[in-house]
Amino acid sequence: MKKALESRNDVEQAEVNVHYAKVTGDAPSQALIDSVIAAGYQAVVAQRPDTELQLSGLSCMHCAASTRKALEAVPGVIAADVGIESAKVYGDAAPEALIAAVEEAGYHASVNGAALLQKLSR
């Protein structure tokens, strides 16, 4: 699947595991899905994150970028969308590991309670 995605001119990089693909570039989502299907796999656009964190201590987008890098370094994390108040994490990583990564980066995090309930009910 990685080869099929990275063969596209509008894809700069693709990180792929069994459950997710994180694609960097200008390709439209549907075009990526079509490429994955043409390669013999199945795909859908991720609609919601696997874990949502409430963040504190971040004051700027530089802080958010540092936190995103810390979260994406956690094994099992494919992507993280981080703002100064919250983070949406895609991938299979324990919430405790995510919180530890944020704290190691110098900030504070807790699991969003509503998101945790949704995850437990899946």
Could you tell me the residue range of the domain that residue 71 belongs to?
A: 51-121
Is residue 11 scored above 60 in pLDDT?
yes
Whether 44 is in a domain gets the answer no
Amino acid at 115: A
Of 25-29, 56-60, 112-116, the range with the highest mean pLDDT is 56-60
Q: DSSP letter for 19, please.
A: S
- Tell whether 75 and 22 lie within a shared domain: no
CB proximity list for 60: less than 8 A, separation 6 or greater: 84
Whether 87 is in a domain gets the answer yes
- Tell whether 55 and 113 lie within a shared domain: yes
Q: What is the pLDDT of residues 80-122, one digit of tens each?
A: 999 999 999 998 899 999 999 999 999 999 997 655 444 554 5
Provide the pLDDT for residue 62. 96
Q: How many domains does the chain have?
A: 2
Whether 46 is in a domain gets the answer no
Predicted TM-score of the model (pTM): 0.67
**Gap between the Cα atoms of 88 and 49, Å rounded:** 5
